[in-house]
Amino acid sequence: MKGIDPILVRIGVTSDIHVDITPTNQRAVPYLVGAAEEAELDVLIICGDVSPSLMHVARFLGAFESLPCAKFFIAGNHDIWVVAYDHVTSIQKYQAINAICDECGFHHLAVAPRIVKGIGFCGTIGWYDYSFRREKYEIPLERYEGKQWKDSIWQDKRYARWEMSDPEMADLCVTSLRQQFMQLPLSVSRIVVATHHVPFRKCVTYRNQLPWDFFSAFMGSQNLGDVCQTEPRVSHVVFGHTHHAMRCEVGPITAICSPIGYLFDVPRDGLRTYVQKRLTVFELS
């Protein structure tokens, strides 16, 4: 009897488009859409940080309207900022993003998992609990709670409004992800997790200097990575937040970050080529 060829699922991932930062970031969008179309994807995952403006988020997601594949989004910390709305909470913005995704043909993975050709997809924004801090500096936790080092401020201090502490928000995200794993049937043998914040210390860039290492405490959460490692079906975790592109192995899990980042200058190899490289494509069977 002849063997059956495995079904391959072609997945593309990127993050941190930041269309509000520079005109070059805005010009990157059509190149990203074109790269996704040329890649003939089964699944596209955007791991957050489009813009604090919901209008920008809607326009960006709407640009992929003709892309004929499953499209997943995870909000980033910039997306839930309440820059212009003193009376709005980040939870309310998170919920508004759910509606925008629905209108634009995306699924916000924070709401519920999805299955594509037998592969499960789960997601959460993540958040941080200061577990990635460098303990050698012996900086009190209160300093991290304040999100400020001398004159430098982590902007979540001003614009992220969860109405709970950072560790509480991080725990909520971990609990949500664990529940998503339980919602997937046992027939799903492989899971891809999408987060915005960094799930593994191995993926945090340290420089052995302050204030850089101080702000590295806001990259993500050790518990976020731990819950992925305790679910044996998780084979890949894709994320954003850090603007350092990487692909590495953390135990049996492949971790991938493929950000656009802040484009204050046109990339050396040209914007189109740069964007094509920042859409990382991989296949699963």
Overall average pLDDT of the 191-210 stretch = 97
pLDDT of residue 5: 63
On the question of pLDDT at 179 being above 60, the answer is yes
- When pLDDT is averaged across residues 241-250 and rounded to a whole number, the result is 97
> What tokens appear for 74 in the block?
């995870």
Mean pLDDT of the chain: 96
Compute φ and ψ for 148, nearest 5 degrees.
Answer: -145, 135
pLDDT at residue 226, rounded to an integer:
98
Q: Which CATH superfamily is domain 9-284 in?
A: Metallo-dependent phosphatases (3.60.21.10)
Cα 138 from Cα 134, distance rounded (Å): 8
Three-state SS for the chain is: CCCCCCCCEEEEEEECCCCCCCHHHHHHHHHHHHHHHHCCCCEEEECCCCCCCHHHHHHHHHCCCCCCCEEEECCCCCCCCCCCCCCCCHHHHHHHHHHHHHHCCCEECCCCCEEECCEEEEEECCCCCCCCCCHHHCCCHHHHHHCEECCEECCHHHHCCCCCCHHHHHHHHHHHHHHHHHHCCCCCCEEEEEECCECCHHHCCCCCCCCHHHHHHHCECHHHHHHHHCCCCEEEEEECCCCCCEEEEECCEEEEECECCCCCCCCCCCHHHHHHHCCEEEEEC
| Residue 2 pLDDT | 55
Ordered by start, the domain boundaries in the chain are 9-284
Contacts of 232 (CB under 8 A, 6+ apart): 252
Q: What is the mean pLDDT of residues 69-86?
A: 93
Burial level of 219, CB count in 10 A (0-12/13-18/19+)? buried
pLDDT of residue 4: 59
CA 124 → CA 43, 96, 214, distances in Å? 17, 15, 24
Report the amino acid identity of residue 234.
Answer: V
Average pLDDT over residues 100-112: 97
pTM: predicted TM-score of the whole model, two decimal places: 0.96
